[in-house]
Amino acid sequence: MVRFPKSLTPLLMVALMALLLAVLSACASPQSTFDPKSDAADSVLTIYILVTVVASVVGFAVLAAMVWLIIKFRAKPGVPARQIHGNNRLEASWTIAPILVLLIIGIPTMFWIAGTAEEPAADVLEVEAVGHQWWFEFTYPGMGPDGGDLITANELVIPVGRDIRVTLHSDDVLHSFWVPQLVGKTDMIPGRTNVLETFNVYEPGLYYGQCAEFCGSAHALMRFRVNAKTSANFSAWASAHNSGPTAPEPGTAAARGALGFATCSGCHAISGTAAQGRIGPDLSLFGERSTLAAGVLDNTDANLKAWIADVRSFKPIPEGARFMPAFNNDTVTTLDDGQIADIAAYLNSLTAK
């Protein structure tokens, strides 16, 4: 083992920390809370910076004072240490200074905490999010066909510049909703309703979210995207979602796939069609989505076919009535590669046109 001279150890530590910091700061992470894109995430970052700066100033001041005292009052040959007891000025100041520091941190923090309970603007968009093992479902009450629900999954589509309030539920076990750049993290608890702090997104884009509470074998593969659109694009998306797909050209792969989708419609719904299953994610406008498998795979034709053939090669999903079977080898319905390709073509044809 290499042994460093003792006197070098602190230097080495500092160098290592600096290196680590440099390496970490080079990561451009789409899940970074240091790059907030909503008012809610912004206030979290502001408090974080305030507390970190104040705590660092206090920490360095205490360290510096300690070093100075140790050096100044160190034992010197022939000089006995000065014995001091009591110093009113010093004691008063080290009582008052921490009180001031706590007030500087505490008062803004309390205001921000109170702000999380503020009533949203009147035009707030209400969304209900349900955690399932291992995917997310989003319901927009009153926005569906005939004033019913609009339901989608794994991609929360919202307009920018408008207050969004998400109510959280779980269908099975504990999950947690977290979009680091926007809002969260808040638990999704079976039998209980949690309400996320209202948030307002600054700019259109795709934001990464994920389950942040261990929820079983595929927990690490339970993600989603927030797709923030301009107000006009959001309305266009909702109406395309509600009006449903146009029937594919007869004789095409998509047309064969639409028929083949009867195998799947017990679990999956496509708005405006006969498929109305609710055991698995809603697949309306699936061709518009950037991901599949709850935000885990890019939505490409190859990934989609491989997913339908054998979900378990991507996610550790148990066998069972509420989980998706592997269709290349299912006990009830086995599909061949051609049938799977047709269904994939159909799903990818589901776009807003």
Which residues bind to ligand HEC, rule: CB under 6 A?
134-135, 153-154, 218, 263-264, 266-268, 279-281, 292-294, 307-308, 315, 317, 323-325, 327, 343, 347
Residue 64: what are its φ and ψ, rounded to 5°? -65, -45
Burial class (CB in 10 A: 0-12, 13-18, 19+), 128: middle
Binding letters toward Cu ion, positions 168-207, x by CB under 5 A: -------x--------------------------------
In what helix (H) or strand (E) does residue 268 lie, and over which residues does it extend?
Answer: none
**Residue 131 binds what, of Cu ion, ligand HEC, none (CB under 5 to 8 Å, by partner type)?**
none
**Residue 270 binds what, of ligand HEC, Cu ion, none (CB under 5 to 8 Å, by partner type)?**
none
Please report which residue ranges of the chain form alpha helices under DSSP H.
9-25, 39-72, 88-115, 231-243, 253-260, 301-309, 337-348
**Residue 264 binds what, of ligand HEC, Cu ion, none (CB under 5 to 8 Å, by partner type)?**
ligand HEC
Burial class (CB in 10 A: 0-12, 13-18, 19+), 136: buried
In what helix (H) or strand (E) does residue 140 lie, and over which residues does it extend?
Answer: strand 135-140
Q: Is 218 in the site for Cu ion (CB under 5 A)?
A: no
Q: Which of these segments, 11-19, 222-230, 254-262, 331-339, binds Cu ion (CB under 5 A)?
A: 222-230
In what helix (H) or strand (E) does residue 145 lie, and over which residues does it extend?
Answer: none
Q: Which of 37, 169, 219, 289 binds Cu ion (CB under 5 A)?
A: 219
Q: How far is CA 124 from CA 127, 160, 165, 225, 252, in A?
A: 10, 12, 7, 20, 43
**Residue 327 binds what, of Cu ion, ligand HEC, none (CB under 5 to 8 Å, by partner type)?**
ligand HEC
**Angle at the Cα of 240 from the Cα atoms of 239 and 244, rounded to 5 degrees:** 115
Identify which of residues 120 and 216 has a Cβ nearer to ligand HEC in the complex: 216
Identify which of residues 131 and 257 has a Cβ nearer to Cu ion in the complex: 131
Q: Which of 215, 269, 270, 275 binds Cu ion (CB under 5 A)?
A: 215
**Residue 211 binds what, of ligand HEC, Cu ion, none (CB under 5 to 8 Å, by partner type)?**
Cu ion
Q: Which of 211, 226, 228, 267 binds Cu ion (CB under 5 A)?
A: 211
* Residue 138 Cβ vs ligand HEC, minimum distance, rounded to whole Å: 11
**Residue 215 binds what, of Cu ion, ligand HEC, none (CB under 5 to 8 Å, by partner type)?**
Cu ion
* Residue 3 Cβ vs ligand HEC, minimum distance, rounded to whole Å: 51
* Residue 235 Cβ vs ligand HEC, minimum distance, rounded to whole Å: 22
Whether the bond into 134 is cis, omega within 30 of 0: yes
Taking residue 145's Cβ as centre, other Cβ atoms within 10 Å add up to 14
Q: How far is CA 17 from the centre of its chain?
A: 28
**Residue 127 binds what, of Cu ion, ligand HEC, none (CB under 5 to 8 Å, by partner type)?**
none
* Among 259, 282, 280, residue whose Cα is nearest residue 269: 282
What does the binding site for Cu ion look like in residue numbers (CB under 5 A)? 175, 211, 215, 219, 222
